[in-house]
Amino acid sequence: MTESTKSVIVGTAGHIDHGKSALVEALTGTHPDRLVEEKRRGITIDLGFAFLEENGVRFGLVDVPGHERFVSNMLAGAAGIDLVLLVIAADESIKPQTREHFDICRLLGVKRGVVALTKSDLLDADMVGLVRLEAEEYLRGSFLEHAPMVAVSAKTGAGLAELKKALHEVATEVPGKDAARYFRLPIDRAFAMKGFGTVVTGTLISGSISAGDEVELFPGKKRLRVRGVQSGGKSVERAIAGQRTAVNLAGIDHADVKRGMALAGPGHFRTTRRVDARLMLLPAARKMKHRGQVHFHAGTSETVAEVFPYGGGAALAPGERALVHLRLQEEVLLLPGDRFIVRQFSPVITIGGGMVLDPLARRPTLRDTGRTAFLEILETGRQEDTLAAMTERALLGIPLEEIVARTGWFEREIREVAQKLAAAGRIKIVSAEPLLLFGKKTFDEVRRKLIERVERFHKENPLLPGIAREDLRASLGKRVREEAFRTALAELAAEKKLDPQGERVKKAGVEIALQPDEVLAKEKMEKAFSDAGLTVPSVKEVLATISVEARRAEKLLQILLREKILIRVSPELIFHRDALAQLKLKLSGYKKAKGERISVPIFKELTGITRKYAIPLLEYLDRERVTRRAGDERVIL
Ligand SMILES: Nc1nc2c(ncn2[C@@H]2O[C@H](COP(=O)(O)OP(=O)(O)OP(=O)(O)O)[C@@H](O)[C@H]2O)c(=O)[nH]1
Ligand SMILES: [Mg+2]
């Protein structure tokens, strides 16, 4: 297969026994029914696959069962098809599953197709003409209104060439699926192949996959390595979106993989049990009550969902389009834009379908009044508005990985859109690396909180120079990211609103304002230490002589320590800086006169102090690298 070959997935659709499988065989030479039971009963039960190459287009055909009991299998096959081959037996015309399958195609957003009137050999041309009119009538106003309609016979081969031509024509209009997006493969089969191990198959709905790639299996997020890739029954280097694809996986038993799971590129996505979506109920559906249960089908997965319509909790009327919250019974991998089908809980018939808008929706709350407006923005598909709205709603900011998981966009795209929004003043890029976005309002709120906290701190602690950085950061709550705190603080500092100094943050321009009695007390305290020289009194003694009450006196002492006028040498001993400076001078004088070694007794003699002071002072001098201990002596450095 050359790179210029276009890959198009064709899904059959139609009532049981209308000749879908026979037609696939007539077109491709492969009978799609594989199971013994299918052959015995003469009906299709599960999906079958075949390939056809026609004029540079490679068709992957997915043949589905028509039996009403196997519609869920049909749904797994219909996900990801580019065009539908709607099969209507000329001798029976339109029947219930013709309608149901066609509804499903419409709800899944299939845009193109071809209609085959099969078994034309059983009727004369006039009768076939009547069926054609009926079919045209039925399809009027739908996406198949102008689709080619070809009378064929799998038995005689009549019309096959014309049908192939019609398929080719329509295929040329199919836009290529986006191979440049993230890899995603909903799995429709998993089996063991002798000599290969586990093989999974599916319609590759986006991205591409090669041998050697790492992939993630959902749900469960198990990382697996791709051993090999096949497309259309042949080994290929790379399978791209729009191809039927078989992936040979290392590191997992085939019994641990089943239909409904999905493979995706590693590290981007997560499964969900809460989805916000646009839902359309078919006109023929019954009205759906609030919290009604339905079968939910998306990709190849199937689970049960509860439907919570937004807007007053009213029931949904037949034919209504509504924004809904879906609560899924099981974890499913979904992205925005994914289509889904809902079927009535019992009896099981297709009643509607829709499109995922927010795959990682939060539980609806009464407080969250902006939800429907937000979903309507998502529905427009406009990237800038989407990212702006998403950012605004994220009260703790939104990091890159969250945006990827919620949108399926590439990092490059996200950065570009974020830049534009920031330039327009719509959002705030709080950090570029790692990327963290904040809504304008939310970020202003962070700034406001910081200022408020610092102001409150000053009011409550007039004698302290500022709040500890860590305490200020903690005042935002630990769920606010470090980057947001840092950026807000840096901005406020640049704007000269706050003044971070080392580990403390104060309001710009705020100086500690001492009361007159405090000024006196502070001076008295300093003098007490300065007068004492090296034979300092205990802190308690000094504080006792101070006229302000103990709590304030203690703060004043802290200020003296912080200003480095007083220096704490040991837990009990505080000295005036002048006394310590004198001591250092004395030591260097001693060194010049007597040499660099000095013993503890000599030190005591030199300074005239007792052991109680001498030992802590020497240890302090060691720490200050004025002296160094050498055995019982000190070396003056
Ligand atoms: N005469 C005639 N018989 C046909 C033609 N196409 C199919 N049949 C017969 O109709 C029966 C059903 O055909 P299938 O192809 O199995 O029908 P199907 O739509 O795949 O049925 P399900 O998969 O069970 O929904 C078989 O006995 C076929 O031989 C045709 O063009 N002409
Ligand atoms: Mg069949």
Q: How confident is the model at residue 2 (pLDDT cuts 50, 70, 90)?
A: very low
Per-residue b or e along 103-140, where b marks 16 or more CB atoms closer than 10 Å to that residue's CB: bbbbbbebbbbbbbbbbbbebeeeebeebbeebeebbe
Instruction: Report d(CA 20, CA 64) in Å as an integer.
Output: 8
8 Å CB contact between 290 and 313: yes
Q: What is the mean pLDDT of residues 567-578?
A: 91
8 Å CB contact between 430 and 436: yes
Q: Is the C-beta atom of 77 inside 6 A of ligand 1?
A: no
* Amino acid 75: pLDDT: 96
Instruction: Report d(CA 626, CA 580) in Å as an integer.
Output: 11
Cβ contacts of 372 within 8 Å, gap of 6 or more: 310, 311, 323
Instruction: Report d(CA 460, CA 455) in Å as an integer.
Output: 9
End-to-end CA gap in the chain: 82
- Give the nearest ligand 1 atom to 44 CA: 23
Q: Is the C-beta atom of 118 inside 6 A of ligand 1?
A: yes
Strands (E) in 237-316, as ranges, are 238-240, 244-250, 262-264, 272-281, 292-298, 301-309
Q: Is the pLDDT of residue 136 over 60?
A: yes
Q: Is the C-beta atom of 67 inside 6 A of ligand 1?
A: yes
- Give the nearest ligand 1 atom to 18 CA: 19
Residue that wins the pLDDT comparison between 135 and 466 = 135
Q: Is the pLDDT of residue 1 over 60?
A: no
pTM for this prediction: 0.81
* Amino acid 459: pLDDT: 87
Counting ligands in written order, which one lies closest to the CA of residue 153?
Answer: 1
Q: Report the residue among 119, 120, 131, 156 best suited for mutation to probe ligand 1: largest number of ligand atoms under 8 A from its CB.
A: 119
Q: Report the C-alpha dihedral over residues 58, 59, 60, 61, rounded to 10 degrees.
A: -160
Instruction: Report d(CA 393, CA 405) in Å as an integer.
Output: 16
**Chain centre distance of CA 428:** 19
Cis previous bond, 347, omega within 30: yes
Instruction: Report d(CA 47, CA 80) in Å as an integer.
Output: 13
Q: Is the pLDDT of residue 4 over 70?
A: no
pLDDT in tens, 427-471: 999 999 999 999 999 999 999 999 999 999 988 887 788 899 999
How close is the Cα of 232 to the center of ligand 1, in Å? 24
8 Å CB contact between 562 and 465: yes
Exposure on the CB side of residue 278, measured as CA atoms within 13 A:
20
- Give the nearest ligand 1 atom to 43 CA: 24
8 Å CB contact between 30 and 24: yes
Long-range contacts for 142-145 (Cβ within 8 Å, ≥24 apart)?
A: 142/102, 142/106, 143/105, 143/106, 143/110, 143/111, 143/112, 143/113, 144/84, 144/86, 144/102, 144/113, 144/115
Q: Is the C-beta atom of 18 inside 6 A of ligand 1?
A: yes
How close is the Cα of 82 to the center of ligand 2, in Å? 20
Rounded alpha-carbon distances, angstroms, from residue 184 to 11, 180, 224, 262: 19, 11, 14, 7
Where do runs of H (alpha helix) occur along 29-124?
36-41, 71-78, 96-107
8 Å CB contact between 375 and 324: no
8 Å CB contact between 190 and 259: yes
User: What type of residue is 284?
Assistant: A
* Amino acid 542: pLDDT: 84
Tell me which range, 189-203, 374-388, 556-570, is most confidently predicted by mean pLDDT. Answer: 374-388
pLDDT in tens, 309-363: 998 767 899 999 999 999 999 999 999 999 999 999 989 999 999 999 999 999 9
Counting ligands in written order, which one lies closest to the CA of residue 16?
Answer: 1
Q: Is the C-beta atom of 12 inside 6 A of ligand 1?
A: no
Q: Is the pLDDT of residue 561 over 60?
A: yes
Question: What percent of the chain clears pLDDT 90, i.e. is strictly above it?
Answer: 78
pLDDT in tens, 217-246: 999 999 999 999 999 888 999 999 999 999
Q: Is the C-beta atom of 155 inside 6 A of ligand 1?
A: yes
How close is the Cα of 16 to the center of ligand 1, in Å? 8
8 Å CB contact between 250 and 263: no
Write down how long the chain is: 637
Strand-strand pairing, 272-281 and 321-332: antiparallel
- Give the nearest ligand 1 atom to 120 CA: 31
How close is the Cα of 86 to the center of ligand 2, in Å? 13
Instruction: Report d(CA 396, CA 34) in Å as an integer.
Output: 53
Q: Report the residue among 12, 15, 17 best suited for mutation to probe ligand 1: largest number of ligand atoms under 8 A from its CB.
A: 17
* Amino acid 25: pLDDT: 97
pLDDT in tens, 10-61: 999 999 999 999 999 999 999 999 999 999 999 999 999 999 998 989 999 9
Q: What is the mean pLDDT of residues 480-484?
A: 89
Backbone angles phi, psi at 55, to 5 degrees: 55, 45
Q: Is the pLDDT of residue 512 over 80?
A: no
How close is the Cα of 151 to the center of ligand 2, in Å? 18
Q: Is the pLDDT of residue 510 over 80?
A: no
**Chain centre distance of CA 452:** 33
* Amino acid 460: pLDDT: 86
Instruction: Report d(CA 459, CA 305) in Å as an integer.
Output: 55
- Tell me which residue has tokens 């500890």: 468
Q: Is the C-beta atom of 44 inside 6 A of ligand 1?
A: yes
Q: Write the Ramachandran bin of 386: left for phi over 0, alpha for psi from -120 to 50, otherwise beta.
A: alpha
Cβ contacts of 97 within 8 Å, gap of 6 or more: 14, 15, 16, 66, 67, 68, 71
Q: Is the C-beta atom of 43 inside 6 A of ligand 1?
A: yes
- Paired residues of 427 in beta bridges: 439
DSSP secondary structure letter of residue 454: H
8 Å CB contact between 506 and 498: yes
Q: Is the C-beta atom of 91 inside 6 A of ligand 1?
A: no
Tokens of 15: 């009532």
Counting ligands in written order, which one lies closest to the CA of residue 90?
Answer: 1
Instruction: Report d(CA 429, CA 436) in Å as an integer.
Output: 6
Q: What is the mean pLDDT of residues 376-401?
A: 95
Question: What percent of the chain clears pLDDT 70, i.e. is strictly above it?
Answer: 99
